[in-house]
Structures are given as C-alpha cells and as structure tokens.
C-alpha cells in the first residue's frame, strides 16, 4: 500500500533514513509504488534513532579480547542485542546484550582485557529462536502455475497481418482513366 493513502505530510526522504533502519541501500527496494523513496521510512525513523542511542559507540566496530578482535556483525535495535564474531570464525555469531558490551568496553578501558567473548550466562538468558535467523521460503505459498490458467475460454483471434487494401482516391481514378 502506498503511503499516499494514509500520510498527509510528505517530507523528503533521504537514504540516511534507510541506513539508520539497517535496510539495503538499493533504490529499487526502497522505492514505493509511486517510484520515490518510501515515505514510511521517515514515519518510523524517530523510533530507530531513539533506539540506537542506547547502544555504545564502537568507532572501530570491534571489541578487543585476548583471543583476538571480535567484529560487530549486526544490531538488533529493539531487542538490544549486538552480534559479534571473530575474524577466524565469521560464521559463529556471539549475541551480547548492550549492557554486557558496555561492561566489556569499560573493562578494556581500565586495562582488563577479557579472555574471550562469552554470551550472557544469567537467568535472563538471551532466548534466540530458530525463527529469528532461519530463512523462510514463502514462495510455496503461491502456485508457480497461477498465471498459466486461461482467464477466458474464448480462443484468441489471429493477429497475422492482412494485406492492406487501400480505397481508391479521386487521383487514382483519374490516373487509371488517362492510361487507357
């Protein structure tokens, strides 16, 4: 649904709104039905900006440990989880709550470099269900043959070009009379 059906105030949309919301910067994916950047990006921007203020500022996007540097891979703004991985194991993501990351940063500033990143071990353990990271194939919801069925039972008319028959004009009649 296009935003023009429910929004009345249309502010200009910048790609920075997509960056804050961690969306792809592909203009084709960000364009609405009207062909312009989606107005709803501005509509939701304030909540994303407020949520990102709670996260620590990681200038280099990494945490230092004795095992090596852990690189920030992604943020979950609303669950307040940061996902890190080590350079030698980029496929192993380590989820950490924002509070835990802040404690890690403060420990590093005071000179106590932790041995390695460990996920939170408290009773309020981070619960990550398979649905959070599992690919969902929604292509099976629609039939691949849905466009193959004929809408009309009427056979299509042949569209082969027929020779164009021109009606004789007055000039043609005069020319044919003068030749004979």
For each of the chain's 180 residues, which pLDDT tens digit applies?
Answer: 566 666 666 666 777 877 777 777 777 777 766 666 676 677 778 888 888 888 888 766 788 888 888 999 888 888 889 999 998 888 888 999 999 888 888 888 888 888 888 765 543 445 566 555 666 666 556 666 666 666 665 666 666 666 666 666 666 655 555 555
Q: Provide the 3-class DSSP secondary structure of residue 69.
A: strand
Same domain, 16 and 26: yes
Domain-ending residue, one of 121, 136, 159: 121
Beta bridge partners of 69: 64
Domain-ending residue, one of 76, 100, 121: 121
The candidate with the shortest Cα–Cα distance to 101, out of 65, 68, 67, is 65
The candidate with the shortest Cα–Cα distance to 98, out of 109, 82, 78, 83, is 82
The number of distinct structural domains making up the chain is 2
Residue 70 dihedral angles phi and psi, to the nearest 5°: -100, 125
Question: What's the DSSP call for residue 97?
Answer: E
pLDDT for 123: 37
Whether 156 maps to a domain, the answer reads no
Between CA 151 and CA 174 the distance in angstroms is 52
Q: How far is CA 149 from CA 72, 122, 142, 155, in A?
A: 49, 57, 14, 13
Is residue 98 a contact partner of residue 53, using CB atoms and an 8 Å limit? no
Same domain, 38 and 80: no
pLDDT for 163: 65
Assigned token pair, 155: 């056979």
pLDDT for 63: 87
pLDDT for 53: 85
Residue 108: give the domain boundaries.
Answer: 55-121
Which residues have C-beta within 8 Å of that of residue 84, sequence separation ≥ 6?
Answer: 63, 70, 71, 72, 73, 93, 94, 96, 117
Same domain, 66 and 49: no
Same domain, 34 and 89: no
Same domain, 49 and 67: no
- The Cα diameter of the chain in Å comes to 114
Whether 174 maps to a domain, the answer reads no
Same domain, 92 and 112: yes
Which residues have C-beta within 8 Å of that of residue 71, sequence separation ≥ 6?
Answer: 61, 62, 84, 85, 86, 87, 90
Same domain, 42 and 63: no
pLDDT for 26: 79
pLDDT for 52: 83
Q: What is the pTM of this model?
A: 0.53
pLDDT for 77: 84
């Amino acid at each position: 649904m296009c935003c023009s059906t429910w929004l009345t105030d249309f502010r200009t949309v910048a790609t920075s709104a997509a960056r804050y919301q961690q969306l792809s910067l592909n203009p084709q994916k960000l364009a609405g039905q009207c062909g312009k950047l989606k107005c709803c990006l501005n509509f939701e921007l304030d909540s994303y900006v407020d949520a990102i203020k709670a996260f620590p500022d990681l200038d280099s996007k990494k945490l230092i440990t004795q095992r090596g540097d852990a690189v920030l891979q992604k943020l979950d703004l609303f669950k307040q989880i940061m996902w890190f991985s080590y350079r030698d194991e980029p496929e192993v993501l380590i989820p950490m709550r924002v509070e835990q990351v802040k404690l890690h940063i403060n420990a590093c500033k005071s000179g106590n470099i932790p041995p390695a990143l460990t996920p939170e071990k408290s009773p309020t353990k981070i619960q990550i269900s398979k649905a959070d990271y599992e690919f969902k194939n929604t292509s099976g919801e629609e039939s691949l043959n849905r466009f193959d069925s004929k809408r009309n039972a009427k056979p299509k008319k042949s569209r082969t070009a027929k020779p164009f028959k021109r009606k004789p004009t007055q000039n043609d009649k005069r020319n044919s009379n003068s030749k004979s």
